[in-house]
């Protein structure tokens, strides 16, 4: 892939009559290349250096001295690329967003009628939802690149600290967007974009190489812990009570769990993380943390640091910490009287939750103190959730001066400051680009559920995001190469229970194989007192093979119907979550090495369920026997 042309789009600014929307493009049709390009009054310095198989492009915007770009609000930088793929990986913005293989013309127009706040939580550029196939942060193409257009390729930003980014694919080609959110530059000011890496070749190897470069540039924390854990959410949900925790804690202790994580449901209101609700008040949270460490496990707690309920003490005492709602026109502006709504959760939270303004120094201080207090209470493992809220389009105190990416990163840095370097940070509902280098573990999928396919409660245009095993499985497999490159991948909890479930034995075995094959970060979220031999055997097996499974992973061909995920230790997962009719043996298996016969007897370790041709199936095996089996 190469850059063909560049343009800077300007935003409308409410109340600033001098600012006109429009586009600055370079004069004439000069070919794009390193050096200085002038677009309208702005200068863009381009440095291109070869990096591995591809080329790294660094672009620096500069506003010259003088009145030229005064009052101009920069909406986005648009880089038209020379490639025309027909099939790409639609890689969503945050943990829960869609990750799916798509033909570029399959745009899901129905997403346009999803409410604005829904589109805003799944996409970096919600206005493109239902209008184009987009890869946020990066786009992987199966074809359409190279001289003859037969090769695959990738266009990906190597960092996300400066701005959000989207790479748009259509029949007309590929456009990489740096989303600048209306920032303006002072005369003489320079502003660097996050570096962009462009490469052509086999999509599988390119995907891994891209992640290596991204991790290096962004300073990933990829060597953190991967404990065997228990979480409260997928069995007890928001009704979790201390008695449930105690019952599970006793069993978890007997079985040598390493982590015990309390999820949503203990707090009085979203936003007030140090105030428990009446169910928890008598036992107080610090006592609970002490009980968990007393049982030999790390105490983990869930929060949503960038959200607040309108009923919370935080929202009442500090209305100035709430982000404001953008006017419907989409114009940028600095005033709003209405708070920005970032989630509607009638069951768990009885209504709306509002987005917080992480450009506000007072809120950042509050976050540092709150998280330091939680650590002082004994919680050293933090699952921070709904983090996209700090980066939805909203009006923030520093509006016009920082991008949404910078606002989110400021919030994340405050949380990390509060918990310190030694605590474990897990991102959830988290935009990927801004979290690299801050989180140790990252949820890489939508929520799981004890049903294979999504139920009827599906959002139009987003059927694959409704809680289900398949929702978690698909994204976790397609994002497997991020494991131990950007962070430890969290493929969401493994639900092994035999009651209160619609998963069959076979489906649970498929999920266990997929857990092993996507890095083996294992959290269960069942009532452990109901576990029988089958559950404990499967869990013991996963635990035993953890050392060989928890390694950097590659996908031979991300576009294959049944992708093969291979580990540096020789492990191999083959999985087909849709489980269509049988295909010819090499159907879609371009680039894959021939598989050894996956029978249990001949491999040192084996997990699997289902059979090709009869529905969903998975098999995972390792050539080396785990040390303690």
Helix (H) or strand (E) holding 507: helix 505-517
Neighbours of 535 (CB within 10 A): 18
Helix axes 469-478, 505-517, angle to 10 degrees: 20
Binding flag, residue 490, ligand 9PG (CB under 6 A)? no
Footprint of ligand 9PG on 393-432 (CB under 6 A): 428
Nearer to ligand 9PG, 249 or 493 (CB): 493
Binding flag, residue 348, ligand 9PG (CB under 6 A)? yes
User: Which pair of structure tokens corresponds to residue 261?
Assistant: 């994580």
Residue 26 DSSP code: B
Binding flag, residue 385, ligand 9PG (CB under 6 A)? yes
Q: Shortest approach of ligand 9PG to residue 63 CB, angstroms?
A: 40
Nearer to ligand 9PG, 183 or 426 (CB): 426
Q: Shortest approach of ligand 9PG to residue 348 CB, angstroms?
A: 5
Binding flag, residue 463, ligand 9PG (CB under 6 A)? no
With CA atoms as reference, report the closest residue to 552 among 481, 487, 622, 605. Answer: 481
Binding flag, residue 263, ligand 9PG (CB under 6 A)? yes
With CA atoms as reference, report the closest residue to 50 among 199, 253, 245. Answer: 199
Binding flag, residue 181, ligand 9PG (CB under 6 A)? no
Binding flag, residue 345, ligand 9PG (CB under 6 A)? yes
Give the integer Cα–Cα distance in Å for 434 and 30.
34
Q: Shortest approach of ligand 9PG to residue 284 CB, angstroms?
A: 22
Contact 516, 480 (CB under 8 A): no
Residue 176 DSSP code: E
Among 90, 108, 194, 264, binds ligand 9PG (CB under 6 A): 264
Q: Shortest approach of ligand 9PG to residue 53 CB, angstroms?
A: 35
Q: Shortest approach of ligand 9PG to residue 598 CB, angstroms?
A: 32
Helix (H, G, I), strand (E, B) or coil at 456: coil
With CA atoms as reference, report the closest residue to 332 among 189, 184, 128, 191. Answer: 184
Report the helix count and the strand count for the chain, using DSSP H and E: 12, 31
Nearer to ligand 9PG, 121 or 155 (CB): 121
Q: What mask of x and - would describe binding to ligand 9PG in positions 289 to 308, judged by CB under 6 A?
A: -------------x------
Is the alpha carbon torsion for 514, 520, 525, 528 positive or negative?
positive
Q: Shortest approach of ligand 9PG to residue 237 CB, angstroms?
A: 8
Residue 442 DSSP code: E
With CA atoms as reference, report the closest residue to 301 among 312, 311, 286. Answer: 286
Q: Shortest approach of ligand 9PG to residue 459 CB, angstroms?
A: 8
Give the integer Cα–Cα distance in Å for 345 and 399.
28
Nearer to ligand 9PG, 176 or 428 (CB): 428
Q: Shortest approach of ligand 9PG to residue 349 CB, angstroms?
A: 8
Footprint of ligand 9PG on 199-258 (CB under 6 A): 233
Among 272, 447, 464, 574, binds ligand 9PG (CB under 6 A): 447
Nearer to ligand 9PG, 124 or 564 (CB): 124
Give the integer Cα–Cα distance in Å for 33 and 48.
8
Binding flag, residue 373, ligand 9PG (CB under 6 A)? no
With CA atoms as reference, report the closest residue to 157 among 269, 225, 81, 99. Answer: 81
Q: Shortest approach of ligand 9PG to residue 438 CB, angstroms?
A: 18
Q: Shortest approach of ligand 9PG to residue 60 CB, angstroms?
A: 38
Unique residue bearing structure tokens 């492990």: 571
Neighbours of 499 (CB within 10 A): 8
Nearer to ligand 9PG, 389 or 556 (CB): 389
Q: Interface residues with ligand 9PG (CB under 6 A)?
A: 96, 233, 263-264, 302, 345, 348, 385, 428, 447
């Amino acid at each position: 892939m190469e850059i063909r042309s560049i343009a800077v789009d300007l935003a409308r600014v409410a109340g600033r009559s001098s600012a006109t929307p429009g586009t600055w493009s370079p004069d004439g049709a000069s070919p794009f290349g390193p050096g200085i390009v002038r677009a309208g009054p702005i200068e863009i310095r381009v440095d291109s250096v070869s990096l591995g198989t591809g080329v790294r492009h660094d672009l620096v915007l500069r506003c010259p001295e003088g009145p030229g770009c005064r009052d101009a609000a920069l909406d986005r930088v648009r880089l038209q690329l020379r490639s025309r793929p027909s099939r790409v990986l639609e890689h969503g913005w945050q943990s829960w967003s869609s990750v799916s293989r798509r033909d570029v013309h399959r745009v899901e127009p129905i997403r346009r009628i999803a409410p604005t706040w829904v589109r805003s939580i799944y996409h970096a550029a919600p206005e493109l939802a239902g209008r184009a196939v987009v890869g946020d942060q990066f786009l992987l193409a199966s074809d359409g690149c190279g001289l003859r257009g037969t090769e695959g390729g990738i266009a990906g930003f190597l960092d996300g600290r400066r701005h959000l980014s989207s790479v748009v694919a259509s029949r007309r080609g590929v456009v990489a967007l740096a989303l600048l959110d209306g920032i303006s530059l002072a005369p003489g000011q320079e502003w660097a974009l996050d570096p962009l890496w462009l490469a052509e070749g086999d999509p599988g190897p390119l995907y891994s190489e891209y992640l290596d470069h991204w991790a290096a540039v962004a300073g990933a924390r990829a060597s953190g812990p991967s404990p065997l854990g228990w979480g409260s959410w997928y069995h007890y949900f928001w009704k979790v009570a201390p008695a449930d925790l105690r019952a599970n804690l006793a069993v978890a202790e007997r079985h040598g769990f390493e982590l015990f994580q309390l999820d949503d449901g203990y707090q009085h209101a979203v936003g007030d993380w140090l105030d428990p609700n009446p169910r928890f008040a008598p036992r107080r949270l610090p006592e609970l943390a002490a009980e968990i460490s007393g049982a030999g496990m790390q105490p983990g707690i869930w929060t949503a640091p960038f959200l607040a309920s309108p009923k919370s003490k935080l929202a009442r005492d500090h209305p100035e910490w709430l982000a404001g709602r953008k006017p419907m026109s989409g114009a940028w502006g600095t005033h709003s009287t209405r708070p920005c709504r970032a989630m509607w959760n009638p069951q768990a939270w009885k209504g709306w939750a509002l987005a917080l303004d992480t450009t506000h120094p007072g809120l950042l201080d509050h976050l540092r103190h709150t998280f330091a207090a939680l650590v002082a209470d004994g919680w050293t493992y933090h699952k921070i959730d709904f983090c996209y809220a700090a980066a939805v389009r909203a009006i923030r105190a520093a509006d016009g001066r920082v991008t949404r990416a910078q606002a989110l990163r400021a919030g994340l840095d405050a949380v990390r400051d509060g918990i310190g370097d030694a605590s474990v940070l897990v991102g959830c509902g988290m935009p990927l680009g801004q979290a690299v280098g801050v989180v140790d573990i990252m949820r890489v999928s939508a929520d799981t559920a004890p049903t294979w396919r999504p139920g009827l409660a599906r959002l139009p245009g987003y059927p694959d995001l409704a809680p289900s095993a398949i929702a978690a499985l698909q994204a976790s497999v397609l994002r497997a190469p991020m494991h131990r490159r950007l962070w430890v991948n969290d493929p969401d909890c493994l639900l092994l229970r035999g009651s209160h479930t619609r998963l069959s034995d076979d489906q649970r075995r498929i999920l266990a194989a997929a857990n092993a094959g996507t890095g083996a970060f294992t959290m269960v979220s069942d009532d452990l007192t109901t576990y029988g031999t089958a559950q404990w055997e499967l869990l013991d097996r996963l635990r035993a093979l953890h050392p060989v499974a928890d390694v950097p992973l590659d996908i031979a061909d991300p576009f294959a119907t049944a992708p093969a995920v291979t580990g540096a230790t020789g492990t191999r997962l083959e999985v087909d979550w849709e489980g269509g009719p049988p295909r010819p043996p090499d159907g879609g298996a371009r680039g894959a090495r021939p598989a050894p016969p996956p029978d249990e007897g001949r491999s040192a370790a084996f997990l699997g369920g289902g059979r090709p041709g009869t529905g969903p199936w998975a098999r995972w095996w390792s050539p080396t026997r785990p040390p303690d089996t």
